Structure 1
Amino acid sequence: MSEYERSRTMPAQPEQVFEQAADVGRLDAWLPGALHVHAEEPPAVTVHEDRTDQDTPALLRAERDQMRIEWGTREQGDYAGWLQVAGIGSGASEVTVHLSFFDDSHDPGERAARDALDSSLRRLEEQVRTRTDGTAG
């Protein structure tokens, strides 16, 4: 089993960050570019991976009261992950993303996982900035 975790501070209220991150219709805007989530009957989703051109049945749950999103494969149990948003004062938030790979064949390796998590957090921050800048005036 392999686990990876990255965090990033974002200049927005935790509620704003969580709302952007948990919007199933906008997940493609911040997830790794090769992954696409298609909503089904909640909490069921299908994740399409461009690299393998495969669809994987998965679950996605957003717990607003905990500011936490959890996901994982439905049948195989190959991977799971979570995103946690925490307020750190002064209108800022810290977002942590954690991935667990239970099947080595799905583990992209430390560098690829770290790069994908950092890139996703950076894109999420851009989405949050765009949304909060657009509503500020």
Structure 2
Amino acid sequence: MAMTISELAKGADVGVETVRFYQRKGLLDDPRPSRSGRSGQRHYGEPDLRRLRFVRSAQGAGFTLAEIAELLALDASHDRPRAREMTRARLDMLDQEVARLEAARQSLRKLARECAKGDAGPCPIIAAFEG
């Protein structure tokens, strides 16, 4: 099933400019216009859609575009150990971020409790962020 760039973008729930951006970054192929078509439209297939969805999912997991490019290359070379290593590193970074966010949540809860104790004097929430 051949798709236009707009159909490809819609299939991955992204904009056409996102597809073009990924093409400029080398994450997606930029197919040549169909020789039989007059419009010069580029045509994409299911593998292109799967790759675009992979790029979006990997970004959602926190991988950088450079890391995504490496993961794609690792897939082509079947280098699973390196892919696992990269995934473990990303998990470690996510764990650190979750811990940081949990500490921020606890601090905000404490400030909200202190603020709820009364209406007199300076607000502990504002005072905490001023210092």
* TM-score, shorter chain, exceeding 0.5: no
Q: Normalising by structure 2, what TM-score?
A: 0.28
Greater helix share, structure number: 2
Greater relative contact order (Cα 8 A, min sep 6): structure 1 or 2?
Answer: 1
